[in-house]
Structure 1
Amino acid sequence: MRCLIPLICLFLIITTTKGIAQSSKKEIPKRSYTTKRIENANPPEIDGYINEPIWDLVPYTTNYTQLQPDIGAPPTEQTKMKIIYDASYIYVAFVCLDQDPDGIEKRLSRRDGFAGDWVEISFDSYNDDRTAFSFTLTAAGVKADEFISNNTRFDETWNPIWYTKTRIDDFGWTAEIKIPLSQLRFNNDKDQVWGLQSKRFYFRNRERSLWQEIVPNAPGYVSEFGELRGLNDLTPQKQLEIQPYVVTQLDTYESQAGNPYRDGSDARLNAGLDAKIGITNDLTLDLTLNPDFGQVEADPAAIALDGFQIFFKEQRPFFVANSNIFDYDLDDQTSDNLFYSRRIGRSPQRSVRDPEVVYTDSPQNSTILGAAKFSGKTKNGWTLGLLESLTDKEFANILRTDNTEQEVLVEPLTNYIIGRAQKDFNDRNSYIGVIATATNRKLEPQLEFLHRDAFTGGIDFKHNWNARKYYIEGNTIISNVQGNEEAITRTQRSLTHLFDRADATHLSIDTTRTSLTGTGGNLEIGKASGGNFTGSLGTSWKSPELELNDVGFLRQADLITQYANLQYTLLNPTQTFRNINVELEQQSVFDFEGNYNRIQYNLESFLRFNNTWEASFGINHKPRIISNTELRGGPRLRFNQENVHFLFINSDTRKKITYGAGYVFSQATQNNFSYFRLEAGLEYQPLDALSLSFFPEYELSPNKTQYVSTTNYNGTKRYILGNIDQKTLSATLRLNYSVNPNLSIQYYAQPFVSKGEYTNFNRINNSTAKDLNNRITLFAPNQISETETGYEIDENVDGTTDYRFSNPDFSVVQLRTNLVVRWEYVPGSELFFVWSQGANGNNDPDNTLFNALDNQVIQKQLNNTFLIKATYRFLL
């Protein structure tokens, strides 16, 4: 604990001072704009010309100030804004002055691209200082929209219906916006006050300016908004939208002789429905029946040699929308969460393994029969969410050696429920929330290795004080899983828990248990704003019995983590730098037995120069690294202390050609392991409508103590390790062409190849010894011999094989590509044309990375998917 004392003292000094260096005592008044209602007159035509007499109802508001780079200073070019409304719409007009109209950047992109010059308006229509609806329009006429939650979290997946038009003239560019009130949420008070903010991005200087000035290093975004007044007699619009879809799909692939499930092609026709129903003016019900996610981009390729599951972000629209309401992070250090929506529709969890089975046809994902989501925020400060989804039972078709076919159940009928509520109080400076999840499966005998029921619950809170400068936040959770003895024993043995860990005195397998209950939590206190320095102190814990992976995500249980963070932020530019951010972090990790497993220190920095080039660099020192999972149930394994450094540099993104490169290098003492990653990137914008990017990446990760296998020798466990030489090569290629703001063509490709070759096999001798030579014992040449399928060990050299293990060498090749044509033919209604190609294969590890790509991709028939999907959005 002595290593924590300097950090704690420094944190206390920073949080108790009134600010140093560039901190400002400037009091910034809250701005107010008064709009007016259109009465007995025609509304403005949305054509980009702000010349109708109706706009004379209200004056322009202006006097924007810089947010970046020189906070509070006048912008290079000023902006003017007007707002009017009627019973159904709110109208916004912008005049973006520019002395050089020819220099206005009019880059086209898909929706939410934020390319080139743009202007934005945001409404905190709940006036809760936490949530807002944001509408952005680029000079090229491309729309972007975001739902803002928790004061700082931006959700770009929110896609409301609204109407826009831009024009470029001799004075700069203008924009008109028409937003249906049905797309917003607000209360039914006769006279309303909304939070209001507007932002402009001036591309040539990479300059952001705001209508409502904010203090340096502000504690949030929405809480700093100005006010929109004059909203009288608004009638809340109960939203009703129905969006049916139809999709046709053809899959082609290399046929396999004798396999009736791989005849070369499959075709299907499908249909479904999404609906959005306004239950009240501020609560919405989303429904989806037989949802289709065919146009979603594939997950990036990855290999996890540590055995843990890989976290992939959600990309399906139904689950992404309003996902912030259901979010319940256990801490900021991991991806652990009580709700991980990718569990819904997951791959079937039973694999058919039978020597009598010749061929298998198993579904890739569980069918989502339907899902409903009730969510919103009331005027009383309640944030509410309830999600339910039902997935169908899934069967695999199998062909046996006697040429008989059979359907085998591989996933049960499953129901998922997630409930979430938060309540604001203390003038919206505090909140308290609860969450509960339930997973219920209808199990049949062949699937009783799964949990029958799984429940989680949690309480979270946050309190801000002193103008949101300081905060304390935390959460606590409890989980309970139920099933037969096999299911609960399987959970205890899983890598997440490892109750059978060889040296754990606080854990043991109980094969008679039919339930498991665990807890976890997090507590953090910090300084969020005011002056150049911010920081936090926190701790989190996850008991050995905690289990979330039925509808949540938990990588590892049995952890107690302590962390500290100090951050310096440059508030105003200097002669050299626009931005400087320096962060010092410290983290310690223990298990519930009290073992001190990890300590690390990180010093990282981000710099943006006045020419808008960027650089980030850092150093990490890890003097203590002990893993209680590396040996898959064996004793804790020490790794030598590690030192890491990295550097990344990116050029001026305002140019037609931008580029960047960087590296990460780590080295452990005694060459226990090392890691080297080299990245590069090139982006080219030859036309406003066309952009291309290419990002290759190369990794080297040798390790003398990579886990291989566990076996028995004379009644004792032998943990076999090897010296792996792993190389990985990947690249990401993107091409975007926009015919207009509503019609775009996108191409994405990612080749990936990784190979690992093992030498110098060894066994654990003293797993926690500081000296690597005492930790492991190499097999002598007369103890190990290679066979066609693996290795045989004669440990006592008596001429008899004592144990054997398979050859762990590997070479994995993947290719994923997508060509997507997207046409929004009317607002909210889309037509997709999709062509996907892919390949997955194993190659000879003796081949080079490029030969592996050639053998498994170039010289083989690729899998193809052709898809056409049409949606139409009815506003009722």
Structure 2
Amino acid sequence: MKTENLLNPQKFKVVYDKEFIYFGFRCYDKDPKGIVKRLSRRDGFEGDWIEINISSHYDQLTAFSFAASVAGVKSDGFISDNGRTWEGNWNPIWYLKTNIDNEGWTAEIKIPLSQLKFSDAPEQIWGLQSTRRYFRTEERSVWQRIPLDAPGWVSEFGELHGLKDLSPKRQIEIQPFVLSQLETYPKEEGNPFKTGNDFKLNGGLDAKIGITNDLTLNLTINPDFGQVEADPAAIVLDGFQVFYDERRPFFVENRNIFNYTFADDQDNLFYSRRIGRSPNGQPNVQEGAFMTIPLNTTILGAAKFSGKTKNGWSIGILESVTGKEYAKIQENDQTRKVLVEPLTNYLVSRVQKDFNNRNSYIGGIFTATNRNLETDFLNFMHQSAYTTGIDFRHNWNNRKYYFKGNFVTSKIEGSKEAITATQRNMTHLFQRTDAGHLQVDTERTSLTGTGGQFEIGKSSVGNWRYRGNLVWRSPELELNDIGFLRQADEIKQYAFISYETLKPFGSFRKITTYMDQTSNFDFEGNYNRMQYMLGTDAMFQNNWNLIVSTIYKPVNYSNTMLQGGPRFRYSEDFFKSVTIVSDSRKKLRYTMNIYNNMAKNNSFSYSEINVGLTYQPINAFTIAVTPALSSNKNKLQYVTQTSFHADPRYITANLDQNTFSTSIRLDYNINPNFTIQYYGQPFISKGKYNQFNKVINPVAEYYKDRVSLFNQKQIGFNEAENRYEIDEDTNNTTDYIIHNPDFSFVQFRSNLVARWEYIPGSEIFFVWSQGITSNGNPNDNLISELNSQILGRKPTNTFLIKMTYRFMF
């Protein structure tokens, strides 16, 4: 087989036997000395490379990807949803050898058939695609041409014929691990839980068993994720939870099968970060007592049965049990334990069926969370939580148009205390004083809600793309036991249109211009938001990118800003962003992002600039630094709420917040199988409050009319107690207090990981992690905080060695 490039053609051959399928590539190059041989760790895609995609079920939706760089670096992944999703954390066992000669370069690939999924038909047809990256001109040549306006990637593959008498291989892999870990930290005198160091020796097991060639059972016992990179730092002022990406290998593999995004990108019925989360209980202890709580809940074991059959069935079942976790407390020379996280069982079951010549699918999901609440102390948690969902998609006219949708329901059960707390939390806020359709019912022991989405659009052919959708989340919808839901009580309408060029012209390779419009309502019918967005993404002939976007919000009300108070009006605002991305092939490259948001009458402003600098002095070493600086100024920042003569008081103030962070990455590659990586991020955020006020007319058009500023006779600062004292009626008696909300949050996290794949599939990790978290002085500047709170403090250090060995049968 051959792909044509007038200057640098390539050809490849495919052969197979009972155990392996082999690919041989010959990549011709008129200037072999100019071939770029850059090293990276696995999945790096640096320099010249070739890629083979195999759709062994030929379902026009999914495929296995194997890529090889000229430097011998492997990249692999699983492609789903016709190329819209690419999972890079799938790491199968396969073999690679590359070589440069006077004609160009060659690659030999050997893939065990046990790593692929295919049917037992006596003669088979697989979907196939081959891609070559020609680095110097940033060109791609493909074996099967795919138009730029194609409806997807996998559906356009060519066909591989002549596969006869292939015997499916049932994959059986067992991978035990052993781990030694030493943690050092500043010693606390008198604290029996902070002696200065802790050591543990641990072990566990991961296994992968092919029940059939299509369906795999994954097992993990006492998994360890110590080599996983730390989450980026964040500080939250609006009260909502933060969404973090999943990086743990067990949960990432086959994630596409379990995914059920039903509304916005982050709202999902399955958010795997809930499994193994930090314990929820926080016991109250006497002054002078000492307490220690585990950072994470122990995953006793988990099993995952998943795969896709030749008949178009995608099946996924995940079962996980997390153990009891106890807080250890020492007070009055006695030590006791308090249960802070109960024994919990998580279940996720997911199914989808392709039909109509793979142009349509219908699917369903069911999740269950059950907790063994042994003590009244844990009654604030849900005893059980269940969700169900149905989703579908239909493509027609050769996948030019589509219609998709889903419907979800949820039910939670627990004590009156737990259900009342859920009604009052930030996701629901049933206690909102002006919400006529909601009220807190303290007698309820369950909640049942619904949500869903319907969308129709044009996804291919020609220059134009468009779509429109409708999303709803009922006030009672609750997903956060094993899913992720930011806010309920919302109806959202969305419309999008874009124009894409299909041929280079002038200085441009491609330009995409897009516009969207969004409106939001709540279930009482309040018109809460109207938003317009206009943007352009331009790629130049020199491989630079320029992305410009603007967002205008003429109508913007919030049901959550006062955190249980009445609906609050934000002033109309205008957001602008500019992103510049330089040529990624250069040794020195950078990305610059500039963001600015300004509200009417300057009631709110936000500005941020971050610059990503990447330098690769030699092919084996890369350094990347991304500093970011932001300024947040809000004249009506929510502070707290209290009461005055039984009347509620919602307090806001003028906030001046500055944040600085820098992400630092160092990658050194001794060879494709032995890499050293460093990641570090200092993060400093400092906020000062002044001009405290109370909300008097939350929906007034002019921002100053929404609040009443406290005068000097009404407010005073008690320095000894670090609080503001309010005498609202000026009768020389303190009516209520406001604890000083000024803050200076400082954090440093880093990971140094040496990874050696000493034989295919078996690895040794050497890890050194550091962490510092502290509260600094809000009156100091950012540089002083960096010096005193990070450079001048003793960090917590974690050293671990982890060894795995993969047995294959």
User: What is the DSSP-based 3-state SS (H/G/I as helix, E as strand, rest coil) of the residue aligned with 1:123?
Assistant: strand
Per the TM alignment, residue 606 of structure 1 is displaced from its structure 2 partner at its CA by 1.1
Aligned residue number for residue 384 of structure 1 = 315
Question: 1:49-76: per-residue Cα shift (whole Å, max 9, x none)?
Answer: xxxxxxxxxxxx1134xxxxxxxxx564
Out of 198, 219, 222, the position equivalent to 2:130 is 198
After TM superposition, the score normalised by the length of structure 2 is 0.99
Per the TM alignment, residue 358 of structure 1 is displaced from its structure 2 partner at its CA by 1.5
* Comparing 657-666 and 81-90, the one that deviates more: 657-666
Q: Any conservation in 2 of the 1:429–1:463 contact (CA below 8 Å)?
A: yes
Q: Any conservation in 2 of the 1:216–1:531 contact (CA below 8 Å)?
A: no
Instruction: Measure, in 1, the Cα distance between the counterparts of 2:265 and 2:179.
Output: 37
Is residue 111 from structure 1 mapped to residue 51 from structure 2 by the alignment? no
Per the TM alignment, residue 575 of structure 1 is displaced from its structure 2 partner at its CA by 2.0
Out of 535, 545, 549, the position equivalent to 1:618 is 549
Query: What residue identity is the alignment partner of 1:846?
Result: N
Aligned residue number for residue 655 of structure 2 = 724
Is residue 416 from structure 1 mapped to residue 339 from structure 2 by the alignment? no
Aligned residue number for residue 62 of structure 1 = 2
Out of 53, 65, 69, the position equivalent to 1:122 is 53
Query: What residue identity is the alignment partner of 1:856?
Result: Q
Is residue 431 from structure 1 mapped to residue 337 from structure 2 by the alignment? no
Per the TM alignment, residue 681 of structure 1 is displaced from its structure 2 partner at its CA by 1.8
Out of 675, 697, 703, the position equivalent to 1:744 is 675
* Comparing 579-588 and 435-444, the one that deviates more: 579-588
Query: What residue identity is the alignment partner of 2:347?
Result: I
Per the TM alignment, residue 647 of structure 1 is displaced from its structure 2 partner at its CA by 1.0
Please list every run of 5 or more consecutive structure 2 residues that lacks an aligned counterpart in the other structure: none
Is residue 692 from structure 1 mapped to residue 632 from structure 2 by the alignment? no
Instruction: Measure, in 1, the Cα distance between the counterparts of 2:489 and 2:287.
Output: 41
Out of 68, 72, 85, the position equivalent to 1:137 is 68
Instruction: Measure, in 2, the Cα distance between the counterparts of 1:78 and 1:590.
Output: 56
Instruction: Measure, in 2, the Cα distance between the counterparts of 1:705 and 1:490.
Output: 27
Question: 1:825-875: per-residue Cα shift (whole Å, max 9, x none)?
Answer: 000000000011110000010001111111111111111000000000111
User: What is the DSSP-based 3-state SS (H/G/I as helix, E as strand, rest coil) of the residue aligned with 1:670?
Assistant: helix
User: What is the DSSP-based 3-state SS (H/G/I as helix, E as strand, rest coil) of the residue aligned with 1:182?
Assistant: helix
Per the TM alignment, residue 659 of structure 1 is displaced from its structure 2 partner at its CA by 2.0
Mapping for residues 61-100 of structure 1, pairs under 5 Å: 61-64=1-4, 74=5, 76-100=7-31
Please list every run of 5 or more consecutive structure 1 residues that lacks an aligned counterpart in the other structure: 1-60, 65-73
Aligned residue number for residue 70 of structure 1 = none
Q: Any conservation in 2 of the 1:357–1:399 contact (CA below 8 Å)?
A: no
Structure 1 residues 404 and 580, CA gap change in structure 2 (3 angstroms) = same
User: What is the DSSP-based 3-state SS (H/G/I as helix, E as strand, rest coil) of the residue aligned with 2:785?
Assistant: helix
User: What is the DSSP-based 3-state SS (H/G/I as helix, E as strand, rest coil) of the residue aligned with 1:857?
Assistant: helix
Instruction: Measure, in 1, the Cα distance between the counterparts of 2:190 and 2:501.
Output: 67
Aligned residue number for residue 188 of structure 1 = 120
Is residue 318 from structure 1 mapped to residue 250 from structure 2 by the alignment? yes
Instruction: Measure, in 2, the Cα distance between the counterparts of 1:848 and 1:221.
Output: 51
Per the TM alignment, residue 217 of structure 1 is displaced from its structure 2 partner at its CA by 1.4
Query: What residue identity is the alignment partner of 1:420?
Result: R
User: What is the DSSP-based 3-state SS (H/G/I as helix, E as strand, rest coil) of the residue aligned with 2:18?
Assistant: coil
Is residue 447 from structure 1 mapped to residue 378 from structure 2 by the alignment? yes
Aligned residue number for residue 369 of structure 1 = 300
Per the TM alignment, residue 654 of structure 1 is displaced from its structure 2 partner at its CA by 1.4
Aligned residue number for residue 821 of structure 1 = 754
Instruction: Measure, in 1, the Cα distance between the counterparts of 2:6 and 2:684.
Output: 48
Aligned residue number for residue 744 of structure 2 = 811
Out of 783, 791, 804, the position equivalent to 1:850 is 783
Per the TM alignment, residue 495 of structure 1 is displaced from its structure 2 partner at its CA by 0.7
Aligned residue number for residue 212 of structure 2 = 280
Q: Any conservation in 2 of the 1:128–1:381 contact (CA below 8 Å)?
A: yes
Aligned residue number for residue 763 of structure 1 = 694
- After superposing on structure 2, the runs of 4+ consecutive aligned residues of structure 1 that deviate more than 4 Å are none
Aligned residue number for residue 490 of structure 2 = 559
Per the TM alignment, residue 305 of structure 1 is displaced from its structure 2 partner at its CA by 0.3
Query: What residue identity is the alignment partner of 1:538?
Result: N
User: What is the DSSP-based 3-state SS (H/G/I as helix, E as strand, rest coil) of the residue aligned with 2:121?
Assistant: coil
Instruction: Measure, in 1, the Cα distance between the counterparts of 2:130 and 2:385.
Output: 45
User: What is the DSSP-based 3-state SS (H/G/I as helix, E as strand, rest coil) of the residue aligned with 2:257?
Assistant: helix
Question: 1:142-192: per-residue Cα shift (whole Å, max 9, x none)?
Answer: 000010111121000110000000000111110000000000000100010
Query: What residue identity is the alignment partner of 1:295?
Result: Q
Out of 725, 732, 738, the position equivalent to 1:799 is 732
Aligned residue number for residue 156 of structure 1 = 88
Q: Any conservation in 2 of the 1:75–1:209 contact (CA below 8 Å)?
A: no
Is residue 874 from structure 1 mapped to residue 807 from structure 2 by the alignment? yes
Among all aligned residue pairs of Structure 1 and Structure 2, give the percentage whose two residues are the same amino acid.
56
Mapping for residues 593-612 of structure 1, pairs under 5 Å: 593-612=524-543
Aligned residue number for residue 772 of structure 1 = 703
Out of 80, 101, 109, the position equivalent to 1:169 is 101
Out of 504, 515, 535, the position equivalent to 1:573 is 504
Query: What residue identity is the alignment partner of 2:99?
Result: R
User: What is the DSSP-based 3-state SS (H/G/I as helix, E as strand, rest coil) of the residue aligned with 1:854?
Assistant: helix
* Comparing 357-366 and 477-486, the one that deviates more: 357-366
Aligned residue number for residue 223 of structure 1 = 155
Mapping for residues 398-413 of structure 1, pairs under 5 Å: 398-400=329-331, 402-413=332-343
Instruction: Measure, in 2, the Cα distance between the counterparts of 1:76 and 1:243.
Output: 46
Instruction: Measure, in 2, the Cα distance between the counterparts of 1:118 and 1:622.
Output: 45
Q: Any conservation in 1 of the 2:3–2:141 contact (CA below 8 Å)?
A: no
Instruction: Measure, in 2, the Cα distance between the counterparts of 1:711 and 1:761.
Output: 14
Instruction: Measure, in 2, the Cα distance between the counterparts of 1:169 and 1:592.
Output: 68
User: What is the DSSP-based 3-state SS (H/G/I as helix, E as strand, rest coil) of the residue aligned with 2:382?
Assistant: coil
Instruction: Measure, in 1, the Cα distance between the counterparts of 2:7 and 2:663.
Output: 37
Instruction: Measure, in 1, the Cα distance between the counterparts of 2:803 and 2:566.
Output: 56
Instruction: Measure, in 2, the Cα distance between the counterparts of 1:312 and 1:216.
Output: 33
Q: Any conservation in 2 of the 1:357–1:398 contact (CA below 8 Å)?
A: no
Query: What residue identity is the alignment partner of 1:871?
Result: T
Instruction: Measure, in 1, the Cα distance between the counterparts of 2:411 and 2:117.
Output: 36
Q: Any conservation in 1 of the 2:387–2:409 contact (CA below 8 Å)?
A: yes
Is residue 635 from structure 1 mapped to residue 566 from structure 2 by the alignment? yes
Aligned residue number for residue 254 of structure 1 = 186
Instruction: Measure, in 1, the Cα distance between the counterparts of 2:173 and 2:733.
Output: 74
Query: What residue identity is the alignment partner of 2:493?
Result: Q
Mapping for residues 288-687 of structure 1, pairs under 5 Å: 288-331=220-263, 333-355=264-286, 358-400=289-331, 402-444=332-374, 445-687=376-618
Per the TM alignment, residue 500 of structure 1 is displaced from its structure 2 partner at its CA by 0.6
Instruction: Measure, in 1, the Cα distance between the counterparts of 2:206 and 2:307.
Output: 18
Query: What residue identity is the alignment partner of 1:869?
Result: K
After TM superposition, the score normalised by the length of structure 1 is 0.91
Per the TM alignment, residue 355 of structure 1 is displaced from its structure 2 partner at its CA by 2.9
Per the TM alignment, residue 795 of structure 1 is displaced from its structure 2 partner at its CA by 1.0
Instruction: Measure, in 2, the Cα distance between the counterparts of 1:138 and 1:370.
Output: 37
Query: What residue identity is the alignment partner of 1:554?
Result: L
Q: Any conservation in 1 of the 2:652–2:693 contact (CA below 8 Å)?
A: yes
User: What is the DSSP-based 3-state SS (H/G/I as helix, E as strand, rest coil) of the residue aligned with 1:702?
Assistant: strand
Aligned residue number for residue 264 of structure 1 = 196
Structure 1 residues 76 and 469, CA gap change in structure 2 (3 angstroms) = farther
Instruction: Measure, in 2, the Cα distance between the counterparts of 1:316 and 1:357.
Output: 38
Instruction: Measure, in 2, the Cα distance between the counterparts of 1:830 and 1:874.
Output: 12
Structure 1 residues 739 and 767, CA gap change in structure 2 (3 angstroms) = same
Per the TM alignment, residue 446 of structure 1 is displaced from its structure 2 partner at its CA by 1.5
Out of 617, 638, 643, the position equivalent to 1:707 is 638
User: What is the DSSP-based 3-state SS (H/G/I as helix, E as strand, rest coil) of the residue aligned with 1:640?
Assistant: coil
Per the TM alignment, residue 356 of structure 1 is displaced from its structure 2 partner at its CA by 5.1
User: What is the DSSP-based 3-state SS (H/G/I as helix, E as strand, rest coil) of the residue aligned with 2:256?
Assistant: helix
Q: Any conservation in 1 of the 2:7–2:30 contact (CA below 8 Å)?
A: no
